Structure 1
Amino acid sequence: MYSIVIPCRNGSATLSDQLEALLAQQHAADVEIIVADNGSSDGTAELVRRFIEMDERIRLVGAGGRPGINHARNVGILASRGTAVLFCDADDVVEPGWIEAHVRAFERGADCVGGPLRRVLPNGMSDGTQEAVSTLHRFHPWPPGANCGVRRDVFDRIGGFDESLRGGGDETDFFWRAAEAGHPTTAVPEALVEYRLRENLRAVSRQFFAYGRGTVRLFHRHGSRGMPRSLGWDLPAVIVVGVLQIVSARPGSARRRRGVERLASRAGRLVESMHSRTWYL
């Protein structure tokens, strides 16, 4: 059996699209779909129960003991019955063939898997595709948390997701620890997820600010293991490019969004570097 875990907090507005996409998948594997509810205060639980009435493969588990996506991931996987677990998010949509592609990778011997994200703007236009595994920090490749998976025995061996990490670096730390234990991530380019981008640029700014802070925390943990330090020599160029992208692009454009992402991430790095006294720009 293969398990699919969806960590979710207040996802009633989007979750139905993801569940419908998962139920429509064509595959030969025996699967279960677990929604790990991280203390939702909206109608998430009621929505999932309606889906359970239609398909017994769906399960709802309470994961409200501690805020954070890693807590929900851990609770979901501990409740799972599969030999391997796939993760996707409540506000995205898996594309046809997603389950089958990941299952094939596991059957070929993969311990950890990751798939690409097709970035979709709120207006439905494409903003490119994020690779299945990233080497952004010039260290171990890691998959996006919205499209990844791990064998259950590997999860048990390395101790699960670190629940103290929230807002950035959460899945990266897990897959780096897996790689250091001899379980690298296998890229599965056929397993595509439609990654639905946020509309509000203030929310985008908060999201990438947290990502930036998370990157510094990753260096604090993994710098002694080989993660290279970023001294920020490129910071002036990053600021100039980011500002130009914001002021020269039309509202709602992908270019303006990229500028906000770029500047917010570096601002997060700066703040966390000063807070933790760990220089990483």
Structure 2
Amino acid sequence: MTPLVSVIICVRNGADTLGRQLAAVEAQRSTHPFELVIVDNGSTDGTAELIRHWAAEVHDAERFPVQIVDGGSVPGIPAARNAGIRRARGRVLAFCDADDAIRDGWIQAFGDALRDREALAGGSVHPHHPGDSETGASALGVVQTPYLSHVGGACMAVTRAACDAVGGFDQTLPTYGFEDVVFSWRVQEAGFPLLSVPDAAVDFTVSGNSASIRKRFRLGQGRVLMARRFPAYDARRYTVGGTLKDAVGVSVGVLGAALRTRSVDRADAGRVVAAWGCVYGCIVYGPLGGLLKRRLGARSGTGS
């Protein structure tokens, strides 16, 4: 039977967390036929072995089919999701993250919402900090911005027609950050509506310190690109000099506070990293980045 819903999970080095999400998918009960597409985006920690073991020894193959996709050739969330889209057979493409857990009724809710209409939909998100026994209050997955609303990639679904109309996720973006925002905007620009589906709920795992730091840097980098592509969203003119001044100022301020209190606030550390990510973004996406690419391309072409 051809599935209506294709659940797409992209993972990289998720051996310690993926099992929780797989169990959540296995526990789903839906009147809509569905499949699971797992994209391994170049894991090196035993994730591939975990997936194979789960598919062969734990999963009940009579309930729904599973496809395992090697998506390691191009790193990053946009490329991994596009690899899953290419293999998916469903009319509805539903995305969730490897370190979260979808709640009962997630597939049913997205299937009900998109079965008879072409659209993009976002569910509700319940933040969960690792080590805590409880999750936070839910937040609807539709976020307002100065330009257009968007949904979060950890809890979203889109019809095949809407996805194909915009060519999937934008792989020119950084490997993390804003891919769900840009996708949402492009789908709406193409004429498709954005829906809120509160019954499609997910327990969202807040990243630990090391992962959060990496993500904050990529978000800072992506912020520059977003401002240049979508000035209605962010009208600021990011320059190397301006962002460098800001980054130094933020760093000095946070360092001073850390010396006084003998501790570093996590949010302050994130601000520092994001500020330096903006500097990097100005270099990569500005004239200097273009010059470096041309120089490197010329050297590669001459074999030097």
TM over 0.5, shorter chain? yes
Among the aligned pairs, what percent are the same residue?
33
- Tell me which of 55, 68, 83 is aligned to 2:60: 55
The aligned counterpart of 1:150 is 158
The runs of 5 or more residues in structure 2 that have no matched partner are 239-245, 288-304
- Written as runs of structure 1 = structure 2, the 5 A alignment for 1:1-281 is 1-53=4-56, 54-56=59-61, 57-107=65-115, 109=117, 111-124=119-132, 125-136=134-145, 138-165=146-173, 166-199=175-208, 201-223=209-231, 226-230=232-236, 256-273=265-282, 275-277=284-286
Unaligned runs of at least 5 residues, structure 1:
none
Distance 1:264 1:128 in 2: 27
For residues 222 and 193 of structure 2, the distance between their equivalents in structure 1, rounded to whole angstroms, comes to: 21
1:271 to 1:135, Cα distance in 2 relative to 1, 3 A? farther
| Contact 2:176/2:215 (<8 A) preserved | yes
Letter in 2 for 1:188: V
Per the normalisation by structure 2, the TM-score is 0.77
Change (3 A) 1:177 1:25: same
Distance 2:77 2:36 in 1: 17
Letter in 2 for 1:114: G
Larger Rg, first or second structure (1 or 2): 2
RMSD: 3.1
Question: Conserved in 2, the CA contact under 8 Å of 1:169 and 1:217?
Answer: no
Alpha-carbon distance, 1:229 to partner:
1.0
2:227–2:237 Cα contact (<8 Å) kept = no
Displacement, 1:52?
Answer: 2.1
Aligned length: 267
SS at match of 1:117: strand
Per the alignment, do residues 65 and 276 of structure 1 end up closer, same or farther by CA in structure 2, a change over 3 Å counting?
A: closer
Task: Summarize the Cα distance change of 1:107–1:265 in structure 2 as closer, same or farther, 3 Å threshold.
Answer: same
TM-score, length-scaled by structure 1? 0.83
Q: Which runs of 4+ in 1 moved over 3 A?
A: 125-131, 246-252, 256-267, 273-278
Structure 2 counterpart of 1:198, which letter?
S
